[in-house]
């Protein structure tokens, strides 16, 4: 055996770390999410113990903000290769690394992490205990309930609040009584998290105490109580929430508006239309969201007017709401938005036109496929699929060959919506695409199309390296050959609420 050249090994190591540095820089690119996504995917694919170690070391420099959150997300995405290094990192001497490892394990949602995280819930540092509590909530395993209930008495307010949130995520009824007690805690942060978590659990015992919390002296707590009804959707809250539309705090007004929408009670329509004129943008945003959830056609004209609101988020919310209501009167006001300079408006308007499903939008959407921006093209193909016009089949088949994987994936899904047999062979080819999302959406397309020519290719897809592709292929195989009788349960990536 020849002698190992240590200088060459060191050189390769330096080159690898330089590549890593450039990927981390790309991961923090604030201007272009696609640059961040590409870097994240590269790190995910190359993820090994060394990559995990380097990412964890980066957390020592990035103690807060989006950069830190993105690194934790990538650590979670890496998967099995990262689990053991992350377990090891839970015992690192640096608290930021321990906390980051805990958060990453929660992001991944692997139940194997429950026992190590329960140990971290006893860490000497409150930052780590809080991260462990949050991670246990993300995983949602009932084994964590008793230790989290104990953490409600932690000396740190941050840990107590994270434990409350985690108990809400787990949705275990054992947490209801302790959380109801915390609704009366002297610390407003504790009262707020208690309210939100009670909403997530959805126990009827919490309704009256939450209605009382809508009158709390602290505006954040009142907003938290309103947010609780986003989940509980209890009609007993309608009158109190309508009253909260006039609260002195705009956060409360906005949260109440969204809650009224989630409850979907027609009594709220007129007050929400009035709230579209609120002086604060968040309240107007909530009103538009709420009207979109209720889907009452009385809101169409006021929402069309809200397309001219001075606030960016309110305009986006109005577009969303018009799409959800699905009234054809919104088509003409929305079409100009897909030609505008603002990418977010273009994409939101395309989604809305897709939900409305009116064929007047087909030609403008076909023109949008000529845009350089790939996310715009992706939204256009999805909307064309939702409109379900046979004229667009050939265009969508061409989009299956687009240079951008997102566009190819959108085209595959859109062809599934239309269910035309011309798409079968091209979709079989798409099952071999280099991008896992394209393969997944092509598999989902056969949930809709159900053509026996897809059986053998779908069987091969059962061995795909990506778990989501395997799941979609398995479902499609189970349905291929059945008689057509309405759509399958899959409703696409932009599922209608």
pLDDT of residue 36 exceeding 70:
no
Taking the C-alpha atoms of residue 227 and residue 198, their distance in angstroms, rounded to an integer, is 10
The share of the chain scoring above pLDDT 90, in percent, equals 69
Determine, yes or no, domain membership for 496. yes
Question: CA 468, CA 107: separation in Å to the nearest integer?
Answer: 17
The mean pLDDT of 245-259, rounded to a whole number, is: 98
Mean of pLDDT values over 14-30: 54
- Predicted local confidence at residue 17, as pLDDT: 43
109 lies in some domain: no
Residue-level pLDDT at 100: 87
Burial letters 216-254, b for 16+ CB under 10 A, else e: beebbbbbbbbbbbbbbebeebbebbbebbebebbbbbb
Q: What is the mean pLDDT of the chain?
A: 87
Supply angle C-alpha 47, 48, 52, rounded to 5. 80
Could you give the count of Cα atoms lying within 13 Å of 57 in the half-sphere of its Cβ? 10
* The pLDDT of residue 32: 53
Domain that holds residue 452: 421-497
How many beta carbons lie within 10 A of that of residue 451, not counting itself? Answer: 17
Check residue 401 and give its pLDDT. Answer: 94
Which of the residue ranges 14-18, 281-285, 364-368, 441-445 would you say has the lowest mean pLDDT? 14-18
Give 353-384 pLDDT, tens digit per residue.
Answer: 999 999 999 999 999 988 888 888 999 999 99
Which pLDDT score, from 0 to 100, does residue 63 have?
55
Of the pLDDT bands very low, low, confident and very high (cuts 50, 70, 90), residue 126 is very high
pLDDT classification of 137: cutoffs 50, 70, 90:
very high
Q: Taking 70 as the threshold, does the pLDDT of residue 21 lie above it?
A: no
Please determine, for residue 132, whether its predicted confidence score (pLDDT) is greater than 70.
yes
Tell me what the mean pLDDT of segment 216-222 comes to.
98
Tell me which residue of 19, 15, 93 sits closest to 60, measured CA to CA.
93
Lowest pLDDT segment from 106-110, 174-178, 277-281, 407-411: 106-110
8 A C-beta contact, residue 326 and residue 356: yes
Alpha helices (runs of H) in 326-356, residue ranges in sequence order: 331-334, 343-356
Greater confidence, 61 or 309?
Answer: 309
Number of neighbouring beta carbons within 10 Å of residue 109: 13
Distance CA 59, CA 69 (A): 9
User: Residue 431's closest CA among 450, 412, 453, 406?
Assistant: 412
Taking 80 as the threshold, does the pLDDT of residue 151 lie above it? yes
CB-CB contact of 162 with 152 (8 Å)? no
| Contact residues for 485 (Cβ-Cβ < 8 A; gap 6+) | none
Q: pLDDT tier at 37 (50, 70, 90 boundaries)? A: low
Q: Do 285 and 310 meet the contact criterion of CB atoms below 8 Å apart?
A: no
Q: Is 461 among the domain residues?
A: yes
Query: Hey, how many other C-beta atoms are within 10 angstroms of the C-beta on 137?
Result: 23
In a domain, 437, yes or no: yes
Nearest to 332, CA basis, from 352, 302, 310: 352
> How many structural domains comprise the chain?
1
Tokens of 394: 């050939």
Instruction: Write out the E strands in 243-328.
Output: none
Given a contact cutoff of 8 angstroms between Cβ atoms, the answer to whether 229 and 262 are in contact is yes
List the one residue out of 346, 340, 299 whose CA is nearest residue 321. Answer: 299
Q: How confident is the model at residue 23 (pLDDT cuts 50, 70, 90)?
A: low
C-alpha pair distances (Å), 461 with each of 349, 361, 419, 434, 465: 34, 35, 20, 13, 9
pLDDT of residue 342: 84
pLDDT band for 1, please (50, 70, 90 cuts): very low
pLDDT score at 104: 86
426 found inside a domain: yes
Least confident of 64-73, 94-103, 136-145: 64-73
- Residues 6 or more apart whose CB falls under 8 angstroms from that of 25 comprise none
Q: Give me 174's structure tokens.
A: 């054992």
Helices (H) and strands (E) in the chain, counts: 30, 0
Do residues 299 and 321 touch, judged by C-beta distance below 8 A?
yes
Question: Using 50, 70 and 90 to split pLDDT, how confident is the model at 199?
Answer: very high
Percentage above 70 pLDDT, the chain: 82
Predicted pLDDT of residue 408: 95
CATH code at 482?
1.25.10.10
Integer angstrom CA distances of residue 332 from 106, 304, 328, 424, 488: 45, 10, 8, 34, 31
DSSP 462: T
pLDDT band of 45, cuts 50, 70, 90: low
Dihedral sign computed on CA atoms, order 119, 120, 121, 125: positive
Residue with tokens 């409150």: 126
CB atoms within 10 A of CB 168: 24
Query: What local confidence, expressed as pLDDT, does residue 375 receive?
Result: 87
Identify the burial level of 31 via C-beta atoms within 10 angstroms of its C-beta, where 0-12 means exposed, 13-18 middle and 19 or more buried. exposed
Distance CA 103, CA 55 (A): 13
CA atoms of 184 and 402, how far apart (whole Å): 57
Residue 369 placed within a domain:
no
Residue 128 inside a domain? The answer is no
pLDDT of residue 26: 60
CA dist 414 and 397 (Å) reads 10
pLDDT over threshold 60, residue 279: yes
Tokens representing 427 are 């979709």
Look at residue 27 and tell me whether its pLDDT is greater than 70. Answer: no
Specify the pLDDT at position 495.
45
**CA 62, chain centre distance (Å):** 24
Kindly state the average pLDDT of the residues 237-253. 98
pLDDT score of 496? 37
Q: What is the pLDDT of residues 476-494, one digit of tens each?
A: 998 875 444 444 444 455 5
**Residue 67 in tokens:** 């950069």
Q: Is residue 478 part of a domain?
A: yes
Higher confidence at residue 495 or residue 74? 74
Residue reference for tokens 């190359």: 46
């Amino acid at each position: 055996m020849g002698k190992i050249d240590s200088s060459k090994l060191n050189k390769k190591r330096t080159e690898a770390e330089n590549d890593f540095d450039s990927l981390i820089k790309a991961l923090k690119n604030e201007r272009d999410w696609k640059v961040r996504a590409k870097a994240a995917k590269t790190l995910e694919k190359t993820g090994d113990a060394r990559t995990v170690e380097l990412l964890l070391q980066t957390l020592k420099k990035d103690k807060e903000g989006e950069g830190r959150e993105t690194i934790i997300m990538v650590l979670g995405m890496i998967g099995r290769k990262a689990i053991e290094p992350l377990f090891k990192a839970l015992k690192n001497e640096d608290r930021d690394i321990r906390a980051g490892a805990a958060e990453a394990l929660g992001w991944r949602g692997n139940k194997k992490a429950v026992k190590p995280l329960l140990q971290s819930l006893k860490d000497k540092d409150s930052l780590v205990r809080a991260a462990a509590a949050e991670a246990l909530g993300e995983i949602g395993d009932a084994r964590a309930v008793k230790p989290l209930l104990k953490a409600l008495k932690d000396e740190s307010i941050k840990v107590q609040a994270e434990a409350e949130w985690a108990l809400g995520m787990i949705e275990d009824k054992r947490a209801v009584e302790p959380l109801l007690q915390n609704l009366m805690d002297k610390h407003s942060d504790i009262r707020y998290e208690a309210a939100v978590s009670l909403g997530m659990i959805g126990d009827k015992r919490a309704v009256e105490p939450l209605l009382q919390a809508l009158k709390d002296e602290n505006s954040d707590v009142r907003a938290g109580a309103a947010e609780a009804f986003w989940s509980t959707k209890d009609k007993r809250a309608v009158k109190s929430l309508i009253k909260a539309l006039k609260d002195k705090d705009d956060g409360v007004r906005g949260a109440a508006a969204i809650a009224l929408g989630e409850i979907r009670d027609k009594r709220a329509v007129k007050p929400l239309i009035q709230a579209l004129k609120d002086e604060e943008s968040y309240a107007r945003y909530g009103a538009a969201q709420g009207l979109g959830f209720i889907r009452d056609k009385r809101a169409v004209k006021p929402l069309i007017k809200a397309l001219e609101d001075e606030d960016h988020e309110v305009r986006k919310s109005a577009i969303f709401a018009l799409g959800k209501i699905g009234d054809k009167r919104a088509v003409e006001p929305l079409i100009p938005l897909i030609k505008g300079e603002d990418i977010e408006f273009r994409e939101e308007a395309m989604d809305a036109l897709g939900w409305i499903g009116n064929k007047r939008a087909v030609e403008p959407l076909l023109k949008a496929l000529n845009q350089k921006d790939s996310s715009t093209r992706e939204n256009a193909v999805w909307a064309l699929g939702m409109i379900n016009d046979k004229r667009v089949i050939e265009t969508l088949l061409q989009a299956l060959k687009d240079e951008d994987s997102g566009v190819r994936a959108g085209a595959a899904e859109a062809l599934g919506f239309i269910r035309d047999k011309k798409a079968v062979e091209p979709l079989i080819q798409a099952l071999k695409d280099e991008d896992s999302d394209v393969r997944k959406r092509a598999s989902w397309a056969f949930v809709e199309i159900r053509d026996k020519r897809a059986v053998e290719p779908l069987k091969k897809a059962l061995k795909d390296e990506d778990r989501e592709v395997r799941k979609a292929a398995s479902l499609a195989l189970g349905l291929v050959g059945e008689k057509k009788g309405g759509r399958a349960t899959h409703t696409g990536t932009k599922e209608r609420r």
